[in-house]
Amino acid sequence: MKLFFLLCILPVILGGVFTDTHVTCIYSEECMLPCTSTHLDIIHWYLDKKAVHSFYHNKDQLGHQHEDYKGRTSLLSESEIKNGNVSLLIRNISLHDEGRYKCYAADAKKNDEKYVVMSVNAPAKSVDITLKKDTVICTSSGVYPEPKVLWYSDPPATEPLNTVSQTEDHLFTVTSQLKVDVITDTYTYNCSITTKDTSYTASLKQQAASELSENEFIFECPVTKDFNYTLSLSFSDTILKYDSKTSRKEITEQWRDKVTFDPEKGTIKLSHLNQEQLGTYTCESTTAQYRYITQTTLPSRGLIK
C-alpha cells in the first residue's frame, strides 16, 4: 500500500517546549504520524480522549483502543522503537481521523509529550469535461476539502456557475458550467480542480489536422515526458492504445497500415484513408494530474473517394 505523508512544519524547540508537527494525509491511504523519544517503557497515542494505540511490556496493548482505530494502527519494528522511533502508522485514512494527536512516551524517570496535527486531503483523481450544446461542463467527485475551480478558455467565456454538494462521508462533488457565447471551429477549455495545494486539470480541445500530402494527415495529442501517461485514439471505436510506462502500443488490425504514433512528440499520422474514415478523431491522454481530450477534424480535401 502507498505510504504518504507531508511534514509541513518540523518540530522545533522553543524554550524547551516542542511546537506541533503538522502532517497532511491522503484520504483512504496510509499515513505516518512522526514521534521520537528516549523514554520507551510506555507509549500511548491519543486523539482527544480516544485511545488510538498503546505499547508497553514490550508489546502492543490494544484492549482499550477506540473502535474507530481497530485493525488500522501499528508502531514500527522493534528495532525502530529501541532506537527511539515511536511513530504511528494509520491505515485507510478517513476524514474522522483529522485532529491533534498526543504522543506520550515514558519510563520510570521521565516522560515526553509531543503533538501531531493531522489534516486530510482527498485530491481529485479524475475530472470529467464535456461540451453540451453551448455549455462546457466540468465535474469531479470524492474530493476534500471543498475544492476551488479555475477555468481557462480560448475563446473567452462568461463566468462559470459552480454547484457543490457533500456526501454522508463529507466528501465533495463539484460541477462547474461554463456558458459559451459562440462555438468556433477551434477552441480550448481547461478546468482545474484544486484541494489544498493539489490540482487536477481536464482539457477539452477542438482542432484541425494538417495535411502533409494527398490523403495523409498529421495532428498532435498532448503528452508529457514528466509523468507516465496513457493515450487512446478513437474513431467510432478505439483504434489505438499506448502506455508510456511500459511503452506498449496496441493498434487494431484494420488500422495498422493507417496509423503512426510518435510517443515522444505526441503526433499521430493518418494515411491511406477511405471516404468512410473521414470525420472527427478523439485523442485522450491521461496522467495522475491531467486529462487531455483532443478532437481533430480531418479536412475533406485529398481523401480518396
pLDDT tens digits, one per residue of 61-117: 999 999 999 999 999 999 999 999 999 999 999 999 999 999 999 999 999 999 999
DSSP secondary structure string, 209-257?
Answer: -EEEETTEEEEE----SSS--EEEEEESEEEEEEETTTTEEEE-GGGTT
120: β partners: 25
pLDDT in tens, 111-150: 999 999 999 999 999 999 999 999 999 999 999 999 999 9
State the Cα angle at 193 between 188 and 197, rounded to 5°. 125
- Tell me if residue 114 falls in helix, strand or coil: strand
- Residue 67, pLDDT score: 97
CA pair distance 102, 74, nearest whole angstrom: 15
Better-scored residue on pLDDT, 196 or 6: 196
- Residue 17, pLDDT score: 53
- Tell me if residue 244 falls in helix, strand or coil: coil
105, three cell numbers: 512516551
Q: For the domain bounded by 122-206, which CATH number is listed?
A: 2.60.40.10
- Residue 19, pLDDT score: 85
Give the sheet arrangement for strand 216-220, strand by strand.
Answer: 210-213, 216-220, 267-271, 259-262
State the Cα angle at 107 between 101 and 109, rounded to 5°. 120
pLDDT of 13 > 50? The answer is no
132, three cell numbers: 453540451
- Residue 18, pLDDT score: 61
CA 67 to chain CA centroid, Å, is 30
Of 17-21, 168-172, 189-193, 236-240, the poorest mean pLDDT is in: 17-21
Of 7-11, 84-88, 141-145, 288-292, the poorest mean pLDDT is in: 7-11
Do the domains at 6-121 and 122-206 have one common CATH topology? Answer: yes
pLDDT in tens, 178-232: 999 888 889 999 999 999 989 999 999 999 999 887 788 999 999 987 789 999 9
pLDDT of 154 > 70? The answer is yes
Task: State the pairing for strand pair 21-26/111-121.
Answer: parallel
The residues, ordered by sequence, that sit 6+ positions from 257 with a Cβ below 8 Å of its Cβ are: 272
Tell me the C-alpha to C-alpha distance, in Å, between residue 26 and each of 168, 219, 244, 247: 18, 38, 26, 29
| For the chain, domain boundaries | 6-121, 122-206, 209-305
- Tell me if residue 181 falls in helix, strand or coil: coil
- Residue 191, pLDDT score: 98
144: β partners: 122
CA pair distance 289, 199, nearest whole angstrom: 7
296, three cell numbers: 481533430
- Residue 301, pLDDT score: 57
291, three cell numbers: 486529462
- Beta strand residue intervals within 30-171, DSSP E: 31-33, 42-47, 50-56, 59-60, 73-75, 88-90, 99-106, 111-121, 128-132, 135-143, 148-154, 161-166
CA pair distance 179, 219, nearest whole angstrom: 28
CA 167 to chain CA centroid, Å, is 19
Q: Which CATH architecture has domain 209-305?
A: Sandwich (2.60)
pLDDT in tens, 242-286: 999 999 999 999 999 999 999 999 999 999 998 888 899 999 999
Global pTM value? 0.83
- Residue 2, pLDDT score: 44
CA pair distance 68, 52, nearest whole angstrom: 8
- Residue 234, pLDDT score: 97
- Residue 144, pLDDT score: 97
User: Fold for domain 6-121?
Assistant: Immunoglobulin-like (2.60.40)
Residue 284: CB atoms within 10 Å: 17
Residue 131 phi, psi (nearest 5):
-115, 120
- Residue 16, pLDDT score: 42
